Amino acid sequence: MPAKPDSVAPPGAPKGTYRIETWGCQMNVHDSEKLAGALEAEGFVPAPPSCEADVVLLNTCAIRQKAEEKFFSEAGRLLAGKRRRPGMILGVCGCVAQAEGKALLERAPHVDFVLGPRSAPAAVADLVRRLRAGDESARGTVNLELRDDAVRFPFDRIRRDPGSPGKAYVTIVEGCNHRCAFCVVPKTRGREVCRPMGDVLAEVRALAARGVLEVEFLGQTVNSYRDEDGRRLGDLLHAAAEIDGLRRIRFTTSHPAQMTDALIDAMAAARPKVCPYLHLPVQSGSSAVLSAMRRGYDRDGYLGRVARLRERCPGVSLGTDVIVGFPGEGEPEFRETLALLEEVRFDTVYAFAYSPRRGTAAHELADLVTQEVKLDRLARIQALQKEIQAERNRLWLGRTVDVLVEGTSKRRSSEASGRLPENRVVNFEGAAAPGTIVAVEIVRASAYSLWGHRVPREP
């Protein structure tokens, strides 16, 4: 999805226009906000939707094959644009850039430069400046440096999404030290580097001062956070909860092996500002498959974490990720995943069919599960979860809830849409200003959203 601007270009005529297309997770979306901030500091402005841009950045995701294929399709489409406008600059950033490196230029020679996710925010403005000045030595640049200062991008230069003024992402950890057998993140993002807690809090205070009500702390393994002074995520949650004006705090994505009792206790102590929602990827309900995945926990260990969360944080909503068809997953192992979903009753599940990724340990395994079986299992997961979500959402009928408005509903222009602290989507009649919190009575529920109408009470 393209990034969206909200900052004002420097005085004077703009140097040109830019467009950023983004695939992948919240980290990639936030990286695009940094890239846009770097370009706007150079005097570029966003291109109107119907116009070609002078600078196009493709911010890529390599976690699944489908996302990578979408990127290469878009890169191919832009070749025609480069032929029409030879001065257009095309850069590829993000995880596919890091994974492919120089090979990407061989496959798409019309690309002007390739920047990995850690190097891109600091390097992009200089490369664009040089290319615009006619410096041909900049063309074909490949910068895959895994910089430790990647988390120190000046937060006052980040260009936030104006469509959702009430919420902002804040990076606290970059990279991952886990070695899950299916995952390319350690290769594309490098080892963990944590941002100083004082710097994080300064950004949160600045956001709260401009009216942001919700921040979401980001990291590939966000609950591994530990700054140079030894302060952990629980300490950060406690300190952020003391900031005036801030109403909601989230963090994603957490690793079950690092969901400690101390962090769970900190979540409980920092309520109600810490939202009662946690995304905790399980990946499989089979201990044998989890071992093959190198996840660092087994089925019982995961269920123990869930039990502790629900004991200390009553009413917490849970989301998860599931991979079906991992090498060695037979029908008995898959049924264990179905049983785990029945037992935990997640509020959201993101399910994916396993696809081998180069550079991972699982890529060397024999893929014993056919694509037909993978798709059948994926459909069974989705059907079960749809029933569970419909049941879970019906529990909200008749309740009056606080909704942080995000904008107009995707389904009906006459409705507004927002989220509960529990991360459920709520649509309601009429207009409401994005970034405000309104009270809504829930009168209808589906498996994927809630619907209601505003009521006259203070949220």
Q: Where are the domains of the chain?
A: 16-147, 400-454
Res 5: pLDDT: 37
For every residue of 68-113, DSSP letters joined together read: HHHHHHHHHHHHHHHHH-TT-EEEEEEHHHHHHTHHHHHH-TT--E
Q: Which of 175, 160, 179 is nearest to 221 (CA)?
A: 175
Rounded to a whole number of angstroms, the distance between the first and last alpha carbons of the chain is 31
Q: Supply the pTM of this predicted model.
A: 0.92
3-state secondary structure of 442: strand
3-state secondary structure of 348: strand
Res 170: pLDDT: 97
CATH-assigned architecture of domain 400-454:
Beta Barrel (2.40)
Tokens of 414: 């006459």
Residue 443: which residues within 8 A CB-CB, separation 6 or more? 397, 398, 451, 452, 453
Dihedral, 257, 263, 264, 265 alpha carbons, nearest 10: 150
Res 12: pLDDT: 54
DSSP letter for 135, please. Answer: -
Question: Are 416 and 430 spatial neighbours (Cβ–Cβ below 8 Å)?
Answer: yes
Rounded Cα distance, 19 and 91, in Å: 11
3-state secondary structure of 170: strand
pLDDT beneath 70: ranges in the chain: 1-13, 458-459
Dihedral, 302, 305, 310, 315 alpha carbons, nearest 10: -70
Res 39: pLDDT: 97
Tokens of 371: 């694509």
Residue in the structure block whose two tokens are 């599940």:
349
Report the number of secondary-structure helices (H) and strands (E) in the chain.
13, 19
Rounded Cα distance, 34 and 153, in Å: 8
Q: For residue 183, what are the CA distances in angstroms to 26, 114, 186, 294, 416?
A: 17, 21, 7, 10, 37
Query: Is the bond preceding residue 253 a cis peptide, omega within 30 degrees?
Result: yes
Res 105: pLDDT: 95
Question: Are 136 and 47 spatial neighbours (Cβ–Cβ below 8 Å)?
Answer: no
Going by their DSSP bridges, the two strands 437-445 and 450-454 should be labelled as: antiparallel
Res 13: pLDDT: 58
What number does CATH give the domain 16-147? 3.40.50.12160
Rounded Cα distance, 28 and 440, in Å: 32
Residue 88 sits at the vertex; the CA angle it makes with 86 and 89, to the nearest 5 degrees, is: 120
